Structure 1
Amino acid sequence: MAAGLHAIPWMALPAVPPGTKLSATRAHVAARRVRLAPRAEVLAPANGAGPWALYFAFAPDGRALGQHRFTMTRLREQGFRILLVVACNGLPDANFMSADAVIRKELNGFDFSGYAIGLDHLADTVGRTDVLVLNDSVFGPFADMRTFFARTPFRMTGFTASYAVEPHLQSYAFLIRDFDRAYMEGLRPVMWRRFACSHHGGVAFLQETRLGRIAARMGSVGSVWTPSDPIYDLTMSDPLGLLAAGYPFLKRSVIGKFSDGFDSDAMIAALTARDHPIERTSYAA
């Protein structure tokens, strides 16, 4: 483990029931932030055995950036079939359409609206399968995702966990072993189809921070890396140390909206060393 990386590897996530105050606060947030779900259309349906990667991308103009092309190429090389759920106006470009299955959704709703659309589709068309779920808030993967499936002792595995709000998996990427329709229905309290949030705080408070506890009703839940102290967000406190420890991603925000807090040259050097395209437009996306 890299020096300065305050993490515990492969730890089960405690399912701590929310208190009355937290539940009341969530009800208040839901009343203010929940709206109707975005409409979606299947452009190319999923079929065939997995493992599947459900990749959510936000691309209003329908154009795949270098980071999208890199992610899709790496996933293909690792043996995943790709279900792309893309939020865009009009039709996605040829690079996006090269995925094994493609669903276009309206722009409203954050990643969880795309996750719900994609997981419902896989449950309907593929049946039982292993699924890697990820979004384009991260660059990568820079390691073989199959090795994480091979090592995980949990049915749902996040790459990093957080203790903010309640112990939870950070939802930019996670693994589900033996996903099927029954598991999807068990996730329904956070994977909504009739409603969605179009506000980041609402998604985090109502969906992301509840995901692990809801999933724990159906099987074990854990994280590859868990902070040794609740004050740490591992993806932001030591991103290069995390990469050195085998973490397969780099958060886009360390070069984008939070770049003032990081050495951008060092982050770009880390991407370059891993053959990731350097495309400035993706940093501010």
Structure 2
Amino acid sequence: MLSILNVSVTEKIQPHTVLMRDWTFVPSTPWYGAFAHRLKATLAGRRPPPQHQVLKSPSQRARWIVYFVYLPDAALTTAHRYTLERLAQSDAGLFVVCALPSGEKIPAAIYDYADAVASKGLSGFDFSAYALGLREIVEHSPGCDLFVLNDSVLGPFTDIDDEFATARWDFTGYTGQALIENHIQSYAFIIKSVDAALERALRPVLPEKYTYDRYKDVVFQQETRLARIASQHMSVGVKWFADASTGVDPSFFCAISLLETGFPFLKKSLLHRRPDIYARDDILGLLETMGHPRP
């Protein structure tokens, strides 16, 4: 039976909401306007994939982490360094995929943490990095378990080895919601036993020969379809799910309550793009308590 979490959220949205714990993915009918957006993206939104270079290939291991970092200034932040250090402590190989301006080199410090390294252009959002990382992992370490995350989150504040061990489904996400259709948010997820067949199965959302370079196209074509496409080939679920009745994004509006349950991540956007949700000092205080440097 599902357990639930009563969550306090910002009064501007609603005073309380309920999240479902350990929710097995159930496809839903997409929002009526999704077809038009998706058709437009298919017809006019596809772009060539960004140029990329694999500078250090993965090797055969039981577990790998693919961490995507977006570096428009070709420089690591203190938050990046915290995450890299935490990920490097796990019993898994660390494959860092960096998005960089043309001609820029990967920061040398990444090699202090990473077991495999690749660079790509700035276009394509995180899904182009995920597709590249998955292809490389499948080629060099088929059968391994794979943890995928991007640098939109601070953390992890938990042990990544425990995250691998407690993943309940073949594809395990962290938060999910019903915007557009039931889906798992793509900032972090775990896939068990990746292989060439799985990589081919996920190509509708992790394509090899094209990418999307508009945020709306990525949301409609990739993030909100990822769980549904995956569920056709494997078991899929999420640790915390906000159904359509709540109307909230749990990674934003339930962030503090989730951290108090032992959740591993905090969205960076709470400090800049969405500072209206929580007081900045409250977020900074939480980070200080967890030993994270001031962003």
Match of 2:275 in 1: 259
Q: Which residue pairs with 2:106 in the alignment?
A: 92
TM-score, length of structure 2 as denominator length:
0.90
Matched AA of 1:61: D
1:221 Cα deviation after fit? 0.4
> Structure 1 length as normaliser, TM-score?
0.93
Q: Can you list the C-alpha shifts for 1:46-92, whole angstroms capped at 9, x where unaligned?
A: 11313111000000232221111111111121222110110013111
- The alpha carbon displacement at 1:15 in A equals 2.1
* Aligned position for 1:57: 69
SS at match of 1:6: strand
d(CA) in 2 for partners of 1:20, 1:234: 23
Paired position in structure 1 for 2:116 = 101
Deviates more, 1:229-238 or 1:185-194: 229-238
Aligned partner of residue 194 in structure 1, secondary structure? coil
Matched, 1:247 2:263: yes
- Partner amino acid, structure 2, of 1:52: W
Q: Moved runs in structure 1, 4+ residues, more than 6 A?
A: none
Flag structure 2 segments of 5+ consecutive residues without an equivalent. 9-16
Q: CA deviation at 1:121?
A: 0.6
Q: Structure 1 residue 115: deviation in Å?
A: 0.4
Q: In the aligned structure 1, how far is the partner of 2:207 from the partner of 2:246?
A: 29
- Give the whole-Å Cα distance in 2 for the aligned partners of 1:217 and 1:51: 23
Tell me the CA shift for residue 17 of structure 1: 5.3
Cα distance per residue 1:248-271 (max 9 Å; x no partner): 100000001111332000001111
Once the 2 structures are TM-superposed, how far is the Cα of residue 19 of structure 1 from its aligned partner?
7.5
Do 1:140 and 1:250's aligned partners in 2 also have CA atoms closer than 8 Å? yes
Residue 240 of structure 2 is aligned to residue 237 of structure 1: no
Aligned residues: 279
Distance 2:176 2:27 in 1: 12
3-state SS of 2:94 partner: strand
For residue 283 of structure 1, what is the aligned residue in structure 2? none
Cα distance in 2 for partners of 1:153, 1:239 equals 22
**2:22 is matched with which residue?**
10
- Residue matched to 1:124: 139
CA deviations over 1:4-56 (Å, ceiling 9, x no partner)? 36211111010235478533431113333221110100111111313111000
CA distance in 2, matches of 1:217, 1:17: 15
- 1:185-209 CA distance string (max 9 Å, x none): 1101000121111111110110000
Does the Cα contact within 8 Å between 1:2 and 1:245 map onto a contact in 2? no
Q: State the identity %.
A: 33
Q: Determine the C-alpha separation between the residues in 2 that align with 1:211 and 1:3.
A: 26
List runs of 5+ in structure 1 lacking aligned partners.
280-285
Q: Do residues 167 (structure 1) and 182 (structure 2) align?
A: yes
Aligned equivalent of 1:150: 165
- Alpha-carbon offset, residue 236 of structure 1: 1.2
CA distance in 2, matches of 1:248, 1:2: 19
